[in-house]
Amino acid sequence: MADYDPRAFAPFAVTVDLAVFTVRAGALHVLLIRRGQDPYAGAWALPGGFVLPRESAEQAARRELAEETGLPEPVVAALHLEQLRTYSEPDRDPRMRVVSVAFAALVPDMPEPAAEGGGDADRARWTAVGEAGPLAFDHAAILADARSRIGAKLEYTCLATAFCPPEFTLGELRAVYETVWGTALDRPNFRRKVLATPGFVEAVPGAARLTGGRGKPAALYRAGPATALHPPLLRPTPPEGTPKT
């Protein structure tokens, strides 16, 4: 950065905003919080909050996530958190200058956060993306950016396992892709592709699970050590209007 001029130092507030996604009942859900105060009192918003003087934005994001989901600390410390981008338009908050660093997080399906959450968890709800009404501030734009980023990352990373419980079937993993992308995938080809990628998933020896009650029991897998997906698993129809950020 340039040299310092203390007079140029304008007072900015720095916050984090979190788009926490999960796959539940065949639909992509995002964690929303009902605001208690103006502006936008009563409206839904992404969880988030101030960055404290001695923490980084990522630390702030994990702290807020733990407070608002009620997840235990070690789980929050380990889960995948991805910095999206920073939103800094001067009037994005009507009261003061707020610069917000947005993150996306992927979690497996879990109970409603209301149960055990300490902080603001009682005002938090999982909402199907698309059924979310107008959001406070510029959170609708942040949510849209997060959604398209997650969709793009499924193509060339092993991130999809972050949506699954510790042990999962290939049908569940495929459901993640189909839900996020909104397209159907060919089951045999998906299976081959996933198993052909070293380190994407590891078989759980001897285990099997009945999935939907009906059908043949499916083998169980764990997430493997790989993070990248070479070659990528491309969406059936190219994104077209979706710029990959």
Partner DNA sequence: GCAAAAGTGTTTAGGCTACACCCATGA
Partner DNA sequence: TCATGGGTGTAGCCTAAACACTTTTGC
201, 224 Cβ separation under 8 angstroms? yes
Q: Kindly tell me which of 208 and 228 has the beta carbon lying closer to its own copies.
A: 228
Does the footprint of its own copies cover residue 69 (CB under 8 A)?
Answer: no
Sort 40 into a burial class: Cβ within 10 Å, 0-12 / 13-18 / 19+: middle
Instruction: Kindly compute the dihedral angle of the four CA atoms of residues 139, 31, 127, 191, in this order, to the nearest 10 degrees.
Output: 110
Which of these, 26, 228, 40, 244, lies nearest to 149 by C-alpha position? Answer: 244
Q: How far apart are CA 36 and CA 44, in angstroms?
A: 10
Burial letters 43-52, b for 16+ CB under 10 A, else e: bbbbbbbebe
Residues in the chain: 245
Q: Kindly tell me which of 76 and 170 has the beta carbon lying closer to DNA.
A: 170
Q: How far apart are CA 222 and CA 196, in angstroms?
A: 15
116, 70 Cβ separation under 8 angstroms? yes
Which of 109, 112, 120, 178 binds its own copies (CB under 8 A)? It is 120
Does the footprint of its own copies cover residue 100 (CB under 8 A)?
Answer: yes
Does the footprint of DNA cover residue 199 (CB under 7 A)?
Answer: no
Does the footprint of DNA cover residue 240 (CB under 7 A)?
Answer: no
CB of 211 to its own copies, least distance (A): 32
Number of residues that bind its own copies (CB under 8 A): 60
Q: How far apart are CA 52 and CA 4, in angstroms?
A: 23
What, of DNA, its own copies, none, does residue 210 touch, CB below 5 to 8 Å by kind?
DNA
Does the footprint of its own copies cover residue 13 (CB under 8 A)?
Answer: yes
| 119 to 158: interface string for DNA, x by CB under 7 A | ----------------------------------------
Q: Other C-beta atoms within 10 Å of 178: how many?
A: 15
Select from 14-22, 178-186, 193-201, 202-210 the region that touches its own copies (CB under 8 A).
14-22
79, 89 Cβ separation under 8 angstroms? no
Number of residues that bind DNA (CB under 7 A): 25
Does the footprint of its own copies cover residue 178 (CB under 8 A)?
Answer: no
Does the footprint of DNA cover residue 111 (CB under 7 A)?
Answer: no
Given phi > 0 = left and psi -120 to 50 = alpha, else beta, which region is 101? Answer: beta
Which of 42, 72, 77, 83 binds its own copies (CB under 8 A)? It is 83
Contact residues: DNA, CB under 7 A: 169-171, 186-189, 191-193, 196, 208, 210-219, 231, 234, 236
Contact residues: its own copies, CB under 8 A: 1-5, 8-17, 33, 35-37, 45-58, 64, 83, 85-86, 88-90, 95, 97-101, 120, 137, 156-157, 227-228, 230-232, 234, 238-239, 243-244
